[in-house]
C-alpha cells in the first residue's frame, strides 16, 4: 500500500515538473546554457531557424527528426508571427 502511494506520488511529481511539451528543448538546449535563455524571449520562425543553425555551429547535435521536434516545440510555444 505504501509502495503504491509512493509510486503514484512519483508519477504525479515528475509529471508536473517536466512539462512533456517542452522536454525536447530541455534535452537538447540545456547542455551549454540554461533553457531559460530559450524561454525568455519569443522570436519569429525565421529568427528561430537562424538561431538554431547558429547553435549547431557552436556544437549542437540534432538528427533531422529531432530538429523537426525542436522547431515544432519552439514554433508552438515561443514564436511570434
By the rule CB under 6 A, 11 interacts with ligand HEC:
no
Sign of CA dihedral 24, 27, 32, 37: positive
Q: Using CB under 6 A, pick the residue from 6, 13, 37, 50 that binds ligand HEC.
A: 37
CA dihedral of residues 23, 27, 77, 52 (deg, nearest 10): -160
Residues binding ligand HEC: what is the number (CB under 6 A)?
Answer: 14
Task: Please report whether residue 24 would count as binding ligand HEC according to CB under 6 A.
Answer: no
Within 39-68, the residues that bind ligand HEC by CB under 6 A are 51-52, 55, 58-60
| 34 Rama class: left (phi>0) / alpha (psi -120 to 50) / beta | beta
Residues that bind ligand HEC (CB under 6 A): 28-29, 31-33, 37-38, 51-52, 55, 58-60, 70
Amino acid at each position: 500500500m505504501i509502495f503504491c502511494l509512493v509510486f503514484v506520488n512519483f508519477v504525479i511529481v515528475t509529471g508536473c515538473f517536466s512539462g512533456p511539451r517542452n522536454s525536447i528543448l530541455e534535452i537538447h538546449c540545456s547542455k551549454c546554457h540554461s533553457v531559460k535563455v530559450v524561454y525568455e524571449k519569443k522570436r519569429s520562425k525565421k529568427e528561430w531557424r537562424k538561431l538554431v543553425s547558429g547553435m549547431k555551429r557552436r556544437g549542437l547535435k540534432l538528427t533531422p527528426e529531432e530538429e523537426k521536434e525542436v522547431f515544432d516545440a519552439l514554433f508552438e510555444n515561443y514564436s511570434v508571427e
